[in-house]
Amino acid sequence: MTVATNTSEPQERTLAGREVAAIGLGCMNLSWAYGTPPEHEVKVRLLNEALDLGYDHLDTANIYGFGKNEELLADAVMHRRGEFLLASKTGIIVDGARRGIDCSPAAIAESLDASLARLKTDHIDLFYMHRFDPKVPIADSVGAMARAIEAGKIGAYGVSEWSALHIREAHAVHPMAAVQTEMSLWTRNVELGVLETTRELGIALVAFSPVARGALGGELKDPQALGEKDLRRSHPRFNEDNWPKNLALIEEFDALAAEGGLEPAQLALAWVLAQGEHVHAIPGTTSIEHMRENFAGGSVAVSSDVLAKASGLINQQTVSGHRYPEVMRNTIDTEDYPA
């Protein structure tokens, strides 16, 4: 039985006032976090081939590679600036002993100017507060974003990993364009409030790690083989206690995808996009082949029964381990499930 069909044209959805492909490109791991990044020429080729293919939403942040990721985009694709929506972020501080979250108006303004300089552009289409800063009144932080919009430095603002309550408070001060948060078959925190809140308020929901940090990508079988600096080595779901249980689920998921003629990542992405017409996904990869496969995930129609089977197989109740190590949980404002 055929359960997936190619729709030929990628789905388009509204983000920051423009229509873009529902599948965007998360650029983080081209510079940071998931093992050793590829050679520079491979990064440049991947980014340009992504634009050629139809990606028109590129997502970066000041913290990715401590500015290196923004510099990469400047070098690789800023000569094609008009072809894509550019998103970046501010708020996380890692500067020697100065570490934490700072979304004060002064910090936002300083960080924005630094990002614009690294990106070699005069505007960022969508600028996120990367984390919630409880030390700063929301009206003050949002006010800084509104002034940046008025100055033409950014087109719209968003927030990342914020709770539904704080999203509503910020949106009341100045309408926000997007909420970025982790969302995948095995991370469902958005179902505790953020998914419905964004739908109700007409805010785009941008899902990062929609392929479960590579776990649903069809290739990761042994996290212990990951590089020592790979961020996933510190995440509970990939440790020696939890991974065998999760791998058993993943193998069933891979079989379900194969039965429908899909790559596992494509089924994972199709499930994310099916959670709402306002939902976008930004999978990241260092592989040109996977980049192409991921984009095709926005051009397939998967039957509701297959999506339901995938959802029943891998979800918040069946997965083993928390999505973040303890030290990172304290920086997350998004609603969480009980331990």
Q: Which helix (H) or strand (E) holds 148?
A: helix 138-150
Rounded CA separation 294/204 (Å):
20
User: What does each C-alpha distance from 85 to 152, 216, 217, 304 come to in angstroms?
Assistant: 15, 27, 25, 31
HEC-encoded secondary structure of 214-245: CCCCCCCCCHHHCCCCCHHHHCHHHCCCCHHH
Asked if 292 and 53 touch (Cβ cutoff 8 Å), the reply is yes
Q: Are strands 204-208 and 279-281 parallel, antiparallel or unpaired?
A: parallel
Q: How many CB atoms lie within 10 A of CB 303?
A: 15
Which among 34, 55, 64, 157 is annotated as catalytic? Answer: 64
User: Are 58 and 85 contacting, i.e. CB atoms less than 8 angstroms apart?
Assistant: yes
Is residue 64 part of the annotated active site? The answer reads: yes
Sheet strands (E) in the chain? 4-6, 12-15, 18-21, 25-26, 57-59, 85-90, 92-95, 98-101, 124-129, 154-160, 178-182, 204-208, 279-281, 300-302
Q: Are strands 92-95 and 57-59 parallel, antiparallel or unpaired?
A: unpaired
**Judging by DSSP bridges, how do beta strands 300-302 and 279-281 pair with one another?**
unpaired
In sequence order, what are the residues at sequence separation of 6 or more whose Cβ sits closer than 8 angstroms to the Cβ of residue 138? 166, 169, 170, 173
Amino acid identity of residue 160, one-letter, is S
Please list the active-site residues.
Answer: 64
